[in-house]
Amino acid sequence: MPEGDTIFRAARALNQVLAGRTVTGFTSVFPHLTRVDHHTPLAGQTVERVEAIGKHLLIWFSGGLVLRTHMRMSGSWHIYRPGERWQRPRHQMRILVETAEMHAVAFEVPVAELVTPDVLERSGVIDRLGPDLLAEPFDAREAAARISAGGDRAIADALLDQSAIAGIGNIYKSEALFAARVNPFALVSTLQPQQIARTVEMAVRLMRAAALGGRAPRRVYDRAGEPCRRCGTEILVRTQGPHARRTYWCARCQE
């Protein structure tokens, strides 16, 4: 599943080519996005901005509508010049936003809605999110407090709760805990406040490094069976939590 840094980069790229441009065409396989019963047609409107909030990507239009998409496991946004060959098959297209200069294509995006800002606010989808790791400013104390409230959960599961801290996924869950030397299976209630704060700090540092153009080094994620780059112990992997997400860790560094 794309994590917050991937959504951040996608929104930044889309904003660079779409913001201030006039929409010349809007196509979608989702009927609820293209019906005209209560939606103002998007063609002729201007894209005001594109932003990421947690794992949600929002495109704001001048006519008072917002397109919200969530990538889930396989969705992605691509940018093409008119007439340029797409890198993915057309049957995977879910949304196409056209301007004279660029086309933005959402492939296999499973969640999409076109709503007014008021409806978006009332839905609580965005308001329920915890502090966004990539937001400026980022409220680290609030994030740590929300994580601490899940005392009967393993810290790795608590980090994936988007209502506690928004944007983090399986990769940065494992990497932040390794960097902070915290056992992913420890219950939140057994951890010291400084351990939780350190984990949040590492998550912010790693994700921002990736979001701002680099790529955060992977010390444990997807390295099961390989030696730990810190101590040489074999990296382990185990499914964890209600959705059986994979957790990678070093038993020695994170005991």
Q: Does one domain contain both 174 and 107?
A: no
Range of the domain at 149: 140-249
Give the whole-angstrom CA distance, residue 152 versus residue 134. 27
Q: Does one domain contain both 40 and 102?
A: yes
pLDDT for the residue numbered 2 = 74
Is residue 129 a part of any domain in this protein?
Answer: no
- Catalytic site residue 55? yes
Number of domains in the chain: 2
Q: Does one domain contain both 113 and 222?
A: no
Q: Find the mean pLDDT for residues 192-205.
A: 97
Is residue 148 a part of any domain in this protein?
Answer: yes
- pLDDT, tens only, 221-234: 999 999 999 999 99
Q: Does one domain contain both 204 and 169?
A: yes
Query: How does residue 1 score in pLDDT terms, banded at 50, 70 and 90?
Result: low
Predicted confidence (pLDDT) at residue 37 exceeds the cutoff of 60: no
Beta-ladder partners of 25: 98
Is residue 128 a part of any domain in this protein?
Answer: no
Q: Does one domain contain both 111 and 154?
A: no
Give the whole-angstrom CA distance, residue 80 versus residue 106. 11
Give the whole-angstrom CA distance, residue 122 versus residue 237. 40
Q: Token digits for 161?
A: 């709760």
Q: Which of helix, strand or coil describes residue 202?
A: helix
pLDDT for the residue numbered 100 = 97
- pLDDT, tens only, 65-102: 999 999 988 899 999 999 999 999 999 999 999 999 99
Q: Does one domain contain both 37 and 91?
A: yes
Is residue 134 a part of any domain in this protein?
Answer: no
Q: Which of helix, strand or coil describes residue 3?
A: coil
Of the listed ranges 19-28, 36-45, 87-96, 153-162, the least confidently predicted one is 36-45
- Catalytic site residue 3? yes
Q: Token digits for 237?
A: 């992997």
Contact status, residue 159 vs residue 196, Cβ threshold 8 Å: no
Catalytic residue among 51, 55, 131, 173: 55
pLDDT for the residue numbered 3 = 86
Which parts of the chain are beta strand (E)?
23-28, 47-53, 56-61, 66-70, 76-80, 93-99, 103-107, 111-115, 236-240, 245-249
Q: Does one domain contain both 99 and 12?
A: yes
Q: Does one domain contain both 107 and 175?
A: no
